[in-house]
C-alpha cells in the first residue's frame, strides 16, 4: 500500500513537472513571437521616421520656387505633425499614409511642372532618397506582416491559445496599405486645391 502511494506520488510529481516544462516552453515560444513582432514594428517605425525626417529637406529645397503650391506644403506639414504626435501604432500608420500621399503629390508636381527643380542636384538627391525610403517601407511592412502572420497563427492554435489567453496575448493587426495612398492627387494650379485622381 505504501509502495502504491509512493509510486502514485512520484507519477503525480513527474506529470506536474512535465506540464510545467510544457507550459514554460509554450510561454517562451509565444513571448519570442511577440518580441519578433515588436522588433519588426520598430524597423517599420525607423524607416517611416527616416522618411518623415527627409521630407522637410525636400520641402525647403523647393518651396521658394513653388509659391502657388502652398496647399501641398500645408498638407505635408499637417501629416508630419500628425505622425509626430501619434500615440499608437494605428495613428502612426494613418499619419504615415497621409504623408505618403502628400509627398507623392509634391513629387508629381515637381516632375510635371518644375523641370528646373527636377534637374537640381540637391532636389534630385532628396527625391532619390525618398524613393529609396518608400521602397524600404514596403519591404519592412511585408516583413512585419509576415511576422504578425506567424504570431497570429500561434496565438489561435491549440494548446498555445490557452497560454496566450493566460498571458493576455491577442491577435495583432496587419499593416495594410491604404488603397488611396497609391493614388496621387492632381493639383489645380488656378486655386491651389487638390483633388484625388481616383475619385
Cell output for 35: 518580441
Residue 67 is predicted with a pLDDT of 66
In a domain, 190, yes or no: no
The domain tally of the chain equals 1
In a domain, 196, yes or no: no
In a domain, 198, yes or no: no
Nearest to 70 by CA among 191, 199, 196, 168: 191
Range of the domain at 16: 2-182
pLDDT above 50 for 181: no
Check if the beta carbon of residue 165 is closer than 8 Å to that of residue 27.
no
pLDDT above 50 for 191: no
In a domain, 150, yes or no: yes
**Predicted confidence (pLDDT) per residue in 152-167, tens digit:** 888 888 888 888 888 8
**Predicted confidence (pLDDT) per residue in 19-74, tens digit:** 888 888 888 888 888 888 888 888 888 888 888 888 888 888 787 777 667 778 88
Give the whole-angstrom CA distance, residue 25 versus residue 193.
58
pLDDT above 70 for 183: no
In a domain, 199, yes or no: no
Helix, strand, coil % in the chain, rounded to nearest 5 = 80, 5, 15
pTM of the model: 0.64
**Predicted confidence (pLDDT) per residue in 81-98, tens digit:** 888 888 888 888 888 888
Domain with 133 in it: what CATH number? Answer: 1.20.1440.20
Nearest to 36 by CA among 150, 157, 138, 160: 150
Give the whole-angstrom CA distance, residue 108 versus residue 13.
70
In a domain, 191, yes or no: no
Backbone angles phi, psi at 60, to 5 degrees: -65, -30
Amino acid at each position: 500500500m505504501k509502495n502504491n502511494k509512493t509510486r502514485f506520488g512520484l507519477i503525480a510529481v513527474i506529470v506536474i513537472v512535465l506540464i510545467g516544462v510544457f507550459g514554460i516552453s509554450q510561454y517562451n515560444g509565444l513571448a519570442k513571437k511577440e518580441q519578433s513582432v515588436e522588433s519588426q514594428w520598430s524597423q517599420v517605425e525607423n524607416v517611416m521616421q527616416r522618411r518623415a525626417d527627409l521630407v522637410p529637406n525636400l520641402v525647403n529645397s523647393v518651396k521658394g520656387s513653388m509659391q502657388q503650391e502652398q496647399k501641398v506644403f500645408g498638407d505635408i506639414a499637417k501629416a508630419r505633425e500628425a505622425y509626430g504626435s501619434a500615440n499608437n501604432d494605428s495613428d502612426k500608420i494613418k499619419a504615415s499614409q497621409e504623408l505618403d500621399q502628400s509627398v507623392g503629390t509634391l513629387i508629381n508636381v515637381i516632375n510635371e511642372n518644375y523641370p528646373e527643380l527636377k534637374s537640381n542636384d540637391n532636389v534630385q538627391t532628396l527625391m532619390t532618397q525618398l524613393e529609396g525610403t518608400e521602397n524600404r517601407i514596403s519591404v519592412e511592412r511585408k516583413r512585419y506582416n509576415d511576422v504578425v502572420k506567424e504570431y497570429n497563427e500561434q496565438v489561435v492554435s491549440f494548446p498555445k491559445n490557452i497560454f496566450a489567453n493566460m498571458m493576455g496575448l491577442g491577435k495583432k493587426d496587419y499593416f495594410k496599405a491604404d488603397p488611396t495612398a497609391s493614388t496621387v492627387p492632381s493639383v489645380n494650379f488656378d486655386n491651389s486645391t487638390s483633388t484625388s485622381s481616383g475619385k
